[in-house]
Amino acid sequence: MNTGPYSDEKVRKFLEEQFIPLRSLCIWEKPTGLMERFGIKWTPTFLVHDSGGKEHHRFVGYVPSDDLLAHLGLGMGKILFDTDRMAEAMAQFQTVIDRHPNAGATPEAVFLLGVAGYKHTHDPKELRRAYETLKATYPQSEWARRADPYSAIPL
């Protein structure tokens, strides 16, 4: 049965259109092979794998619909980022930022947009712009602190 965010039609549609949705039951008394393979210690744990089965994104704990959709989009972006498709990764991270500005995963998308932008253009201003956005929009996030070294880059 689909409960929580899975009862949201937007989530169902996005999951079925963009992903292969897979549910793996955890049994604590006798951990399954998949639990051991992926080091699952708590539920829910969510993984995003590329089409070859390599893990690119993981998050733990209940998330409401908007947060889940942002994590899904972030996972798609990280697949592109990890496989050096930086222009596509930038577009995907920007989509997460535009569609889910208040989601918990979005500051990471801003950070990675800056990094992908820098790797794509070799212009360090991309990193400074990420810092500025994080400071202005998500000042309490860990990602704003991670971007702090980029504050010294001239614009």
Partner 1 sequence: MAEIRWETEFDAALEKARKSGKPVFQDFWFDG
Q: Which residues bind partner 1 (CB under 8 A)?
A: 1-2, 6-7, 9, 11-12, 15-16, 18-26, 28, 34-35, 38, 40, 43-53, 56, 72, 75-76, 79
Q: Which two tokens stand for residue 11?
A: 């989530």
User: Which one, 74 or 130, has the nearer CB to partner 1?
Assistant: 74
Closest approach, Cβ 131 to partner 1, in A, equals 29
- Are 104 and 70 in contact, with CB atoms under 8 Å apart? yes
Closest approach, Cβ 50 to partner 1, in A, equals 5
- Are 55 and 38 in contact, with CB atoms under 8 Å apart? yes
Residue 62 burial (CB count, 10 A): 10
Q: Which two tokens stand for residue 152?
A: 């010294």
User: Which one, 34 or 87, has the nearer CB to partner 1?
Assistant: 34
Q: What is the identity of the amino acid at 111?
A: F
Residue 123 contacts by C-beta under 8 Å, 6 or more apart in sequence?
A: 117
Closest to 126 (Cα-Cα) out of 113, 142, 109: 113
Closest approach, Cβ 6 to partner 1, in A, equals 6
Closest approach, Cβ 72 to partner 1, in A, equals 6
Q: How far apart are the first and last CA of the chain?
A: 51
User: Which one, 17 or 155, has the nearer CB to partner 1?
Assistant: 17
Closest approach, Cβ 24 to partner 1, in A, equals 5
User: Which one, 10 or 99, has the nearer CB to partner 1?
Assistant: 10
Give the sign of the dihedral formed by CA 43, CA 93, CA 96, CA 11. Answer: negative
User: Which one, 72 or 116, has the nearer CB to partner 1?
Assistant: 72
